Structure 1
Amino acid sequence: MIEEIPTVGQLLKSVATLLSNEISPALAQQDLQFKVRIAVNVLAIIEREWQQGPQVAEEEVAMVNALLGTDNHDLKALRAELAEAIMNGQYDDDLSALATRLLPNACSRLSIDNPLYSTLLELQK
């Protein structure tokens, strides 16, 4: 019988659940409980990055290429090129349009880093 192999996300969630529900309550020291909560949060970020990160990066590449009029797939280079264009005043005439183009990606990134971030929740209303 072939057993189902758990996904990376399922493994991360299992470890986080174990730490939250069993390990942390058993710890008498509050500083260790705090460190366990940090570890659980890090695991949750890794899980969201694993699940959402590639699509968010693809969307960012497409968005930055559209802004710059380029066809580059190196996200780090694209970010640097966009930053340079912004610093050089290329978008000074219409900063609100630039912000409108950048905001969805910023929200996607925030939803990976901290989906309960109050400003993100406000923007999603």
Structure 2
Amino acid sequence: MTPGGNETDDPTRVRNQPALTTSSGSIWIVLGAILTVICVGVLLALVPLNPAVAWIGLVLVALLFVALVVARFTTSAGRRRLVVMASCFAGIAAVTLICVVILSGTAWESLR
């Protein structure tokens, strides 16, 4: 709690940032598209190592981006929509990271 006020008035609090309180959601689509292109490029480059893991990752990344776009246009404006979109964005990064770790681990094991 901040001195002289409650924690909902604290502008430095993560939950009070404009991207999660007042944004229309368009920025999440732009950033999500950029992240998706990068993630798809990385996963496509890793397909030769283990096609099953890479393709599962590609499908999940694509589905999360579609969910992000659908949330933008079907969920009513406000905090809930922005949190759903931010969660989809984080999911894209997490799925790619998990797939890259699995793929690099299996490649490393094959070298031993």
TM-score range, shorter chain: 0.3 to 0.5
Higher relative contact order (CA 8 A, sep 6+): 2
> If the length of structure 1 is used for normalisation, what is the TM-score?
0.33
Over alpha carbons, which structure has the higher Rg? Answer: 1
